[in-house]
Structure 1
């Protein structure tokens, strides 16, 4: 307590949303001003979400937000779980080490478990925070930078039939949402964007930050039949010195329904006049760009990092919802959960690409903590790597078999959420 005043953790009322938003921005070191108009603009996104605050009197000293939203999991289109998405997690620097985050996050995770939600999902601002609550880094992203111009030496079939149009962000509204949803459905961890988000992203929603977004450049790829098959959104940062340019084209959003469309978009981006470097962020680990280039070394991999963290809340439900690869067979898996939400021991029977998990008292073949299994759940993080780090225990062959069964292609996609 500070000055003897008690801190209360509770739901945020509509009249408290402005102070709640300001507190969040302060803790994230964002100097931007938050007005009542900003809050009004955000209210459509907050409908159906849970806004929690830590209140010291009228002052907000902690924030937390969560909502239930579908999440694609390994197995291809149609395989998804309802996930408890977590965001806007802050505790004021003056009120740390008092258990406020623990109070907010554990209450939310328990409530999600009681609702039957099998998984929680978030972006971790700081990696050391969330492991102690059972989260594991499940989706990584990478930055690719290419010195331009760069020639493509390899093109998938159909690339020559894809046309690329230079448009503006606002022109994407009719095609981009459905295309993004279709692409995301086949990539584990790719969060489907809500419809209202597109108006804000593309500069079509009036508000205090509505500037020239709608006029920013973008690319729209269409197949021979005229259907939209790819989108790229970008900005340029120009720098001139002594009449020599050093311009960076920054790709903020690129998604395509086919390899042909993906290649067609990159062929255009790497040939824009007056551009010296093309930099793309939040690219999946299996992005084929380097393999398209005549010189693969022109695609320089930047700093890779964890992007999304997952936390299993119901192990049998989560494992049963996803698809599986690898050899069929059975494994007894024991999971330890310090919060007492998802621990237990199950016999996993894999057949026909699906797993049935049944409680058992048999000796475990593989033992791990819930954070390790959560990290491996979306198919990107190998269980054998976690075993090498001491996070997973068991006979080597059993661990390797379960690791192969959990793996998935394509890899997870770290597309930003838009919430």
Structure 2
């Protein structure tokens, strides 16, 4: 095999035509080990979701050997409701095992990031299936998540007022369609990194628009919490995995989605979930690292993290625009920040002036107080990853006091929320 072919130069990277979407989807799902055969019906089912999205394929002749999908989508950033950033949402990234280490991913991702930069999009983000890959392209792990497991029953000792005014209704998935989307959008707006869910997400996840071969009747039980005015204030979706042996139950209740507009509504949902009969443990996924559940319990050790991982990776494309878009905490003051970017997209040196919760970044030639690579700044941007931790790992340099001050300014509470909803 020639060196030209070994380095993927005969592989063409380009936009996918409509008549190539079946091969593109088949390649993507095959690499992700999807067990079902992809049919034209699957493509037709996905096409409405692909409207406005960019489908890129790597073609070796007529064979699809790489896939890539992206679209512009808002993402909440620190600062509370009203603070959001238009981002380049990256998904469906695959390279066939037969064509790896030929630079195919590099060609797809760098072209997409450069195009986003040219469109004026200040940041990109993705969920990384393989953590070592994306740091090479300037992404940093910005949103963490955890799985909590609770031994049931687990009585709550701390009930935020006015929990007594919250009414919890037992419903089915389909019953959530009218009220859950607006409630989720309102809750997500206050949590950095919470991905807004498109309308199609709700139709599919609630079983109202099943894909080919999927059963529309396979719906999960759900809870809907209402406040004293009758307005929807919280939602929980779950399923149970029941097991019996010798007339003894060993049942897990798995919560797949839980969000609430108020602490009282969230506590009321937990109060119900942790008291369901013949349930021995409650397992809840995709929780923020500052989830209040353990603090609600009479015995906080009954809720233990059994798994934690990075969730969302971000990549700044325009440092001044991204920094200006978010809110800031911490001490006011100035700092000269130098950012290195191996791809040449977002590097530079700026004087950051923090005043009244906002930052103005102006290009400067002054000596830097803090310097870092673009991946480190991207990891710290949403306020969860401390800059001082990155400094301890050698990824941020500068005088200790200057690094600590900028780290405090970037921090944000509440922390990020690892909720997804893309299609």
Q: 2:90, 2:124 within 8 Å by CA — same for their partners in 1?
A: yes
Q: Secondary structure at the match of 1:120?
A: strand
Q: Which runs of structure 2 are paired with 1:11-410 in the superposition (5 Å)?
A: 11-212=15-216, 215-410=219-414
Q: 2:328, 2:409 within 8 Å by CA — same for their partners in 1?
A: yes
Q: 1:168, 1:214 within 8 Å by CA — same for their partners in 2?
A: no
How far is 1:37 from its partner?
Answer: 1.1
Q: Secondary structure at the match of 1:102?
A: helix
Q: Secondary structure at the match of 1:302?
A: strand
Q: Which runs of 5+ in 1 are unaligned?
A: none
Q: Provide the C-alpha distance between the structure 2 equivalents of 1:60 and 1:295, rounded to a whole number of angstroms.
A: 54
Sort the Cα spacing of 1:288 and 1:209 in 2 relative to 1 into closer, same or farther, 3 A: farther
How far is 1:126 from its partner?
Answer: 0.5
Q: Secondary structure at the match of 2:307?
A: coil
Q: Provide the C-alpha distance between the structure 2 equivalents of 1:386 and 1:207, rounded to a whole number of angstroms.
A: 43
Sort the Cα spacing of 1:277 and 1:405 in 2 relative to 1 into closer, same or farther, 3 A: same
Q: Provide the C-alpha distance between the structure 2 equivalents of 1:74 and 1:209, rounded to a whole number of angstroms.
A: 41
Q: 2:337, 2:350 within 8 Å by CA — same for their partners in 1?
A: yes
1:295-325 CA distances to partner (integer Å, 9 max, x unpaired)? 0000011111000000000000000000000
Q: Provide the C-alpha distance between the structure 1 equivalents of 2:402 and 2:11, rounded to a whole number of angstroms.
A: 48
Q: Provide the C-alpha distance between the structure 2 equivalents of 1:203 and 1:14, rounded to a whole number of angstroms.
A: 27
How far is 1:167 from its partner?
Answer: 0.3
How far is 1:214 from its partner?
Answer: 6.0
How far is 1:216 from its partner?
Answer: 1.9
1:63-102 CA distances to partner (integer Å, 9 max, x unpaired)? 0000000000000000011000000000000000000000
Q: Secondary structure at the match of 2:238?
A: strand
1:316-340 CA distances to partner (integer Å, 9 max, x unpaired)? 0000000000010000000000000
Q: 2:208, 2:216 within 8 Å by CA — same for their partners in 1?
A: no
Q: Secondary structure at the match of 2:184?
A: helix
Q: Secondary structure at the match of 2:64?
A: strand
Q: 2:90, 2:125 within 8 Å by CA — same for their partners in 1?
A: yes
Q: Secondary structure at the match of 1:156?
A: coil
* Structure 1 residue ranges (4+ consecutive) displaced by more than 4 angstroms after TM superposition: none
Name the stretch that deviates more: 310-319 or 196-205: 196-205
Q: 2:350, 2:361 within 8 Å by CA — same for their partners in 1?
A: yes
How far is 1:215 from its partner?
Answer: 3.4
Q: 1:202, 1:213 within 8 Å by CA — same for their partners in 2?
A: no
Q: Which runs of 5+ in 2 are unaligned?
A: none
TM, length-normalised to structure 2 = 0.97
Q: Provide the C-alpha distance between the structure 2 equivalents of 1:147 and 1:410, rounded to a whole number of angstroms.
A: 26
1:225-278 CA distances to partner (integer Å, 9 max, x unpaired)? 100000000111111111111111110000000000000000000001111110
User: Between Structure 1 and Structure 2, how many residues are aligned?
Assistant: 419
1:164-203 CA distances to partner (integer Å, 9 max, x unpaired)? 0000000000000000000010000001001111101101
Q: Secondary structure at the match of 2:200?
A: helix
RMSD: 1.3
Name the stretch that deviates more: 48-57 or 32-41: 32-41
Q: 1:336, 1:344 within 8 Å by CA — same for their partners in 2?
A: yes
Q: Secondary structure at the match of 1:203?
A: coil
Q: Provide the C-alpha distance between the structure 2 equivalents of 1:404 and 1:5, rounded to a whole number of angstroms.
A: 46
